Chain A
């Protein structure tokens, strides 16, 4: 077996309580690396086409990567969840860092496959080779952080690592996430609801095994080199202001969606900037296990109505719970984030849903009667707090909002659909796609719905490497190449914030893989692995019925031009532009015009065993 990998996969059937271990297929390891790549491949093997996301038949896969458990900076600590998303009905995947992944690797597993549904609420206790399902009825209703503490106390070991859902996951809120190390979330695509549907409250892990690597001396030298790189310019942003630095940057470019996409710029940006956050609220910047750069900006509210609130903060939640809802108070935004952690909800999606509700309210689609008396005007921070609480509890209006922006809009009707900003059912993130046309393509084709983290294509637009207001041929290749890199990052799993330290991207990553595993992969092969994993994701989506029609953009992005005076005024994406971008992208990918991977492409990538899936769709 290759070094780095634990070489074992754990199966847990929650219905029967039976568990068994199977060896990791070495071919899978090399082809799909680990993390989301391995996770998606295992999901395809373990599920039937058309499976309902919240049914016992939908497997939930938890995977680590080949470097998890080593001292590799930012890489030793990640884990990924993969399943069918209750939001998109396609690929559901989300990663998280902290220290949970490293523990799971030391317990001796590359992946855990959860199937079925427990009769009563349970948590899984993985203690090296011993795997038990324990009663979790006393943990129900608890936040992930409280659950973590309670489990540690109960099992009597303060170093046990826990990933848990909160009340939102228990109640199958569609945007529920899975949280580990108290504030770290596998956030997107609603996998907390999948966990909840299995009556699985938490996963507790203790691992005592040694992790070794193939070439330790060279590996450690490489680690040292990356420690230096991580103190350099490539990570400066994350170490100083953190991602909230984007607030003023995006605002200046007029590409920060504000008030549910009614504006692309926010007059209150100065008040919620990363600069002010750092100055007034950040109490300490800490890091994940094995990280040499640290980025976790821990904020504390010292006074006012939200006094005592403490949480981590990043740009996306800040934007979603702030400008997107017209809110210009950082203390309220921090409170909002804390509530998302408490209930276990994806804070990006939660903010976008509240912004949507506020838009509906201002347009009269929702009245004060519908909102249980909440005056849901843009900018009302008290309304934000109340709506989040209701969503987390599925109470009153919150029960509708808990369906996600797409589901809620369908329930509300009356034109609400046009105000719902999502792609494939997954809520948008903090980049105004009307004036960032490379990003618009990346978002449209992203296999997990609206998300900047599947491609990073916004960078070309924001950094001015292309004309961001223009849709033209060539963007397809840009998006494709970056996607391939991003899937590798998420399969290794290294932290995306460290991507800049891989100066020679593929070459550096290949070297890392080889030093750890002892494989002798070439850069070319690694590149192909990235492409393969993207095709795998597409095959997943194609099998579940997704295609070109789903590679779309929200109604407002295509019909409501930006009105703010300034550099983005008048921008939006027409159907012709989207078609041009999609054609260009599918061509770059070697897929059909309908966006289906061809037999030839799958052969080229050595994915012959999946050809039958695309053949059915031709």
Chain B
């Protein structure tokens, strides 16, 4: 069993991500041999020009998607934490989609079974991370992500304070 600080997933830095969709294209290419965002396991969200970021599976602890599946089609790999889909069991009912807060598990438009990020296990490394032109994507563990957030926010606070004192 892998410990939480060893289990890594793909996460985008919202300050760096420009919403260019290169990750979507590369993911769909890697997985489906076509350029088609609908077949990508990572999806870009653009709320407005300032707010955009790409999102994919967080490999949750106790994943709600797995719990929600009425047909036991989903399992989580003990080793890596990725969500594995048994395509014979999955009938595309969508309970897992509803359970996932990130929209990270999706229905395949052709095969009508769900799919989500598997960290490109056959390639050895996530292709989206490799291709993102902004280096906005990282393969991180939850605790490293938390550490980063702590440091970023502290830096911001510190900058504000600096500005105040040097006025």
Give me the interface of A with B, judged by CB distance under 8 Å: 69-71, 73, 76, 99, 106, 159, 182-183, 208-213, 216, 220, 224, 227, 230-231, 283-294, 296, 298, 300, 310, 312
Contact = CB atoms under 8 A, between A and B. Distances in A.
Interface string B121-140: 00000000001011000000
Contacts, number: 83
A287 B32 contact: no
Contact of B35 (A71, A227, A283): A71
Interface in B19-45: 19-22, 25-26, 29, 32-39
Contacts of A70: 25, 35
A340 B19 CA distance: 24
B10 interface: no
A119 B32 CA distance: 44
Given A210-B34, A212-B35, A216-B33, A230 B133 contact: yes
Given A208-B36, A227-B133, A294 B50 contact: no
Interface of B: 18-22, 25-26, 29, 32-39, 48-50, 52, 109, 131, 133-134
B165 to A, nearest CB: 21
Identify the 10 closest CB pairs spanning chains A and B, nearest first. A210-B34, A71-B25, A292-B133, A211-B35, A286-B18, A287-B18, A287-B20, A298-B49, A289-B21, A210-B36
B26 A208 contact: no
Given A209-B36, A287-B19, 18 more contacts: A69-B35, A70-B25, A71-B26, A99-B21, A183-B49, A208-B36, A208-B38, A210-B34, A211-B34, A283-B50, A284-B49, A286-B50, A288-B20, A289-B21, A290-B25, A291-B20, A296-B49, A310-B48
Contacts of A291: 18, 20, 133
A106 B36 contact: yes
A70 B28 CA distance: 11
A565 B52 CA distance: 48
Tell me whether chain A's interface is mostly helix, strand or loop, or mixed. Answer: loop
B35 A310 contact: no
B25 A76 contact: yes
A294 B20 contact: yes
A291 B133 CA distance: 8
Nearest to B36: A210
Nearest to B135: A231
A231 to B, nearest CB: 7
Contacts of B20: 286-292, 294
Nearest to B28: A210
Contacts of A287: 18-20
Contacts of B52: 286
Contact of A294 (B37, B48, B131, B134): B134
A211 B109 CA distance: 14
Contact of B34 (A212, A227, A284, A310): A212
Contacts of A289: 20-21
Contacts of A71: 22, 25-26, 29, 35
Contact of B50 (A208, A216, A292, A300): A300
